[in-house]
């Protein structure tokens, strides 16, 4: 609907400029403040969440069955059920809606997407409660990452899609001179954006909106219909999203089945069947490398975009602020109990120590100071809960125990109680000691609150091992600390060659596991941690093709 495009023109222009300049910009305030979102918004959303527990989710959607077995990592079942259509019903409904949606103009589709993002923003507190109680994130992170930051990533995808589509001219007069006094050949040519068809967005359990929105909105803006397949442990955030999408589509005069929800339960998954359905043309997947490999190997008929995971590393050579370095690393290890695809796992330190502003520090002193900074951060139970949140999956909790049992502990992981949340699934960070030769221990992704301080013979060996792990196992982030520009340049060259985004000398309020929309390219697509980037032109341009029509021009 053209009025939506006009109403949100300034927001789109801001996103286009920010993506081009890569400077700070955000369309959605990240502070969960009543002055921004309404004085009663937080309380209203919390009451609505509690009222929803144990009841059917209100969604006008195909499907006669109801499914849902979500459990909050904070210690209680959600008891919410959702309409569940069969795959044949979903595909048929998506195809039917696709004809009208594909025929809509670029500005109409983009305007609808912008209106959806605007309405999502107004429901940020509702989404925050849903994200908190499915992912286990602490509330402020659930609000920021699940709400405004995810919405910015959605807007970023729409802006890139718009920029790529308007590069295609609508029409042109083609004239080819013939010479010899002959009239030139003349043709009138027109071009149309042609979507690929049905897109499937496969969500994850830890960041259900942040990781799903880019693919969803890139596909929708380029004219594809979207089937959203949430992780069975994190349906509610995406169910709210789908409901808002469908409401806007109806308001704009479109078939709401342009966006659908594919619900399943852990004991009866449908993701593989959906991903390999011959009608599916695009797949966006976020999740484990094992299932990512399966998707890439088996969904051969679809254009596949994946964000998987890898082995993120920190290299410490020297530092101008030992206290600031230890505090920054500690915060990155603590935040959401390490359950971020950007969280560091391996901390490489020369075994003969490092130079600092506090003098020479031995390997043991570096490792112990990082562990001490972690203990200080989580020493207060209330602050610990606000930073660590809970453990999303029992599998992650079991991994913490099994990995810790096979390594030398520096800081043991333990559970802790969260006031008001009896039964919450918790674990403090486990920090383990390893030698560079112990690659079998630290050389695979160990998702969760697990990290290794690894002793190396030199800084060069540390950089080489970290970069090689990124190249072979994948990595999304890397960090280096050094007062030597030559070391920083060497690290930048080697990590870039491995396709890793590098942060240098972080000691303040910016952390390696944070990724800023419109500025940071999240995942490079250049190593096994994922084959796509959130967001760049390549992420959107192949979601549509161009069909031409040419006719002889009138004399």
Q: What is the pLDDT of residues 315-362, one digit of tens each?
A: 999 999 999 999 999 999 999 999 999 999 999 999 999 999 999 999
Say which residues have a Cβ less than 8 Å from residue 289's Cβ, sequence separation at least 6.
308, 309, 310, 445, 474, 528, 529
* Length of the chain in terms of residues written: 555
Going across the sheet that includes 185-195, the strands are 171-176, 185-195, 544-552
| pLDDT value of position 180 | 86
Residue linked to tokens 């937080």: 42
What are residue 305's phi and psi, to 5 degrees?
-120, 125
Q: Supply the mean pLDDT for the chain.
A: 96
Preceding amide of 77 cis, omega within 30? no
pLDDT for 379: 92
Which among 130, 136, 157, 139 has a CA at the least distance from the CA of 213? 157
Element spanning 130, H or E: helix 124-135
Of residues 338, 334, 336, 409, the one with CA closest to residue 378: 334
Asked if 441 and 452 touch (Cβ cutoff 8 Å), the reply is yes
Task: Say which residue the tokens 């880019």 belong to.
Answer: 214
How far from 321 is each of 79, 183, 386, 446, 453, CA to CA, in Å? 49, 75, 26, 29, 19
Cβ atoms within 10 A of the Cβ of 302, count? 24
**Residue that is written with structure tokens 């280096």 in the block:** 480
Phi-psi region of 197 (alpha: psi -120 to 50; beta: other; left: phi over 0): left
What is the share, in percent, of the chain residues with pLDDT greater than 70?
A: 100
The reported pTM is: 0.96
Q: Rounded to 10 degrees, what is the CA torsion of 239, 137, 408, 503?
A: 100
Strand residues in 23-79 grouped as ranges (E): 65-67, 71-72, 76-77
Which parts of the chain register pLDDT below 70?
1
d(CA 37, CA 16): 25
What's the pLDDT at 1?
A: 61
Provide the pLDDT for residue 397: 95
Measured CA to CA, the distance from residue 487 to residue 502 in angstroms comes to 13
Domain boundaries, the chain: 2-7+55-170+192-308+537-548, 313-504
Q: For residues 437 and 435, give the distance between their C-alpha atoms in angstroms, rounded to a whole number.
A: 5
**Does CATH place domain 2-7+55-170+192-308+537-548 in 3.40.605.10?**
yes
Q: What is the rounded distance in angstroms from the CA atom of residue 358 to the CA atom of residue 355?
A: 8
Q: Which CATH class is domain 313-504?
A: alpha beta
């Amino acid at each position: 609907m053209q009025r939506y495009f006009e109403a949100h023109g300034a927001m789109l222009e801001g996103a286009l400029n920010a993506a081009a300049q890569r400077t700070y910009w955000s369309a959605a305030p990240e502070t969960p403040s009543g002055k921004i979102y309404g004085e009663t918004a937080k309380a209203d959303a919390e009451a609505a969440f509690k009222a929803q527990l144990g009841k059917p989710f209100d969604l006008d959607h195909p499907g006669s069955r109801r499914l849902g077995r979500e459990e909050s990592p904070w210690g209680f079942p959600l008891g919410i059920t959702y309409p569940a259509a069969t795959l044949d019903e979903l595909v048929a409904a998506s195809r039917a809606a696709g004809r009208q949606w594909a025929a809509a103009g670029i500005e109409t589709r983009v305007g609808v997407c912008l209106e959806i993002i605007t309405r999502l923003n107004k429901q940020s507190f509702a989404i925050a409660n849903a994200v908190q109680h499915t992912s286990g994130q602490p509330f402020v992170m659930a609000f920021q990452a699940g709400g405004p930051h995810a919405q910015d990533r959605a807007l970023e995808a729409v802006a890139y899609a718009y920029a790529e589509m308007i590069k295609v001219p609508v029409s042109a007069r083609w004239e080819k001179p013939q010479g010899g006094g002959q009239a030139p050949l003349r043709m009138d040519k027109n071009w149309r954006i042609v979507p690929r068809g049905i897109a499937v967005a496969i969500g994850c359990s830890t960041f259900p909106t942040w990781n799903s929105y880019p693919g969803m909105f890139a596909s929708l803006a380029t004219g594809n219909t979207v089937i959203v397949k949430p992780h069975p442990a994190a349906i509610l955030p995406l169910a709210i999203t789908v409901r808002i999408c469908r409401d806007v589509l109806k308001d704009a005069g479109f078939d709401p089945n342009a966006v659908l929800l594919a619900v399943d339960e852990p004991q009866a998954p449908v993701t593989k069947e959906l991903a390999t359905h011959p009608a599916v043309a695009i797949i966006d997947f976020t999740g484990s490398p094992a299932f990512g490999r399966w998707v890439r190997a088996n969904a051969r008929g679809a254009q596949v975009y994946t964000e998987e995971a890898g082995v993120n590393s920190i290299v410490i050579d020297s530092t101008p602020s030992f206290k600031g370095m230890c505090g920054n690393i500690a915060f990155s290890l603590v935040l959401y109990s390490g359950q971020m695809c950007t969280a560091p796992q391996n901390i490489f330190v020369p075994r003969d120590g490092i130079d600092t502003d506090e003098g020479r520090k031995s390997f043991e002193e570096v490792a112990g100071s990082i562990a001490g900074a972690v203990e200080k951060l989580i020493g207060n139970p209330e602050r610990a809960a606000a930073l660590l949140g809970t453990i999303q999956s029992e599998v992650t909790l079991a991994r913490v125990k099994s990995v810790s049992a096979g390594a030398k502990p520096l800081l043991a992981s333990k559970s802790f109680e969260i006031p008001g949340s009896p039964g919450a699934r918790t674990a403090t960070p486990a920090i383990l000691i390893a030698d560079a030769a112990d690659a079998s221990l630290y050389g695979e992704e160990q998702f969760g609150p697990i990290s290794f301080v690894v002793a190396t013979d030199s800084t060069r060996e540390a950089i080489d091992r970290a970069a090689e792990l990124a190249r072979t196992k994948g990595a999304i982030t890397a960090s280096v600390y050094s007062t030597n520009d030559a070391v920083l340049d060497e690290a930048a060259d080697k990590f870039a060659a491995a396709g890793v985004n590098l942060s240098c000398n972080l000691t303040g309020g910016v952390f390696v596991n944070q990724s800023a929309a419109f500025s940071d390219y999240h995942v490079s697509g250049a190593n096994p941690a994922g084959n796509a980037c959130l967001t760049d032109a390549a992420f959107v341009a192949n979601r549509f093709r161009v069909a031409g029509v040419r006719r002889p021009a009138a004399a």
